[in-house]
Amino acid sequence: MIVCQAAGFLLFAAGAYEIHRRAARPLQLSWRIMLWLNVLMLLDSAVASVLIVVEVYDPSASFRTFSNVSFALLVVVFLITNSFAVIWLAAEALSKDLRELATRDPLTGVLNRREMVEILGREVSRAARRDSRLAAVMLDIDHFKAINDAHGHDVGDRVLVEVTALLKEEKRGSDHLFRYGGEEFLLLLADTDAASAGSLAERLLGKLRERRFVPELELEVTASVGVACLDLADSSGSGLPRAADEALYRAKRGGRDRVESLDRIPVD
């Protein structure tokens, strides 16, 4: 019974700590349930303590029978509450894993195009509230099909992963990186004007030119980059990626391995 009491208290303490840690955010359903399970475990421990004290003063056979039955019930409650705790914690972990699968590219680990739509909407709203700028940098690896054809898709995948690592190195904490298409990546830059976004794009191209990819092959990789900046008076959020994509294709038509910017975004 003492073990049951101690286990109940420890579970309650752990749950209380997690609830306190998450208090600044809305409690998810699983954590609300965990709160009530922990309250039940605390009551379980309190009843166990009372039974221990009473049994000391009333060691009669009838009370021992009552105490044994009560202890058995407490054990059942303990097992049920722990089972629910494990189930709900596992369900939350599974839910998190499923969201990761739905929002992240499995090869590079960065956010996917589907998640970009949601984040773009939030960033556009934020920019409107703060009257700030929002820029997009679209990067496409030049002649990527030739890499796949010459060295195989495994090497192509490694190039994508290494280019992703380079982009992660250069982006700020407030920026969002997405895999937009096969070999296309999009950087969404908060509080950034066209000039600053263009400077970042040029820096990215410089880093790509300097680096050699896939160590045993030392491949040279270049990219074409398009830059666009959201003007809240002229455009909605959905026009920003399209504008960066249009600028990107201007860079490709202009000879690749270069940056092009779109000065004005057409109204949607």
18 carries an active-site annotation: no
| Region for 138 from its dihedrals, namely left if φ exceeds 0, alpha if ψ lies in -120 to 50, beta otherwise | beta
Question: What φ, ψ does residue 203 adopt, rounded to 5°?
Answer: -65, -40
In DSSP notation, 114-177 reads: HHHHHHHHHHHHHHHHHT--EEEEEEEETTHHHHHHHH-HHHHHHHHHHHHHHHHHHS-TT-EE
Q: In what order do the strands lie in the sheet with 134-141?
A: 111-112, 176-179, 184-190, 134-141, 223-230, 259-262
What are the Cα distances from residue 2, in Å, to 10, 53, 63, 64?
A: 12, 12, 18, 16
Of 115, 123, 162, 183, catalytic: 183
CA distance 212 to 258: 18
Q: Which residues of 26-49 are buried (b: 16+ CB within 10 A; e: fewer)?
A: eeeebbebbeebbebbbebbebbe
* Catalytic residue list: 183
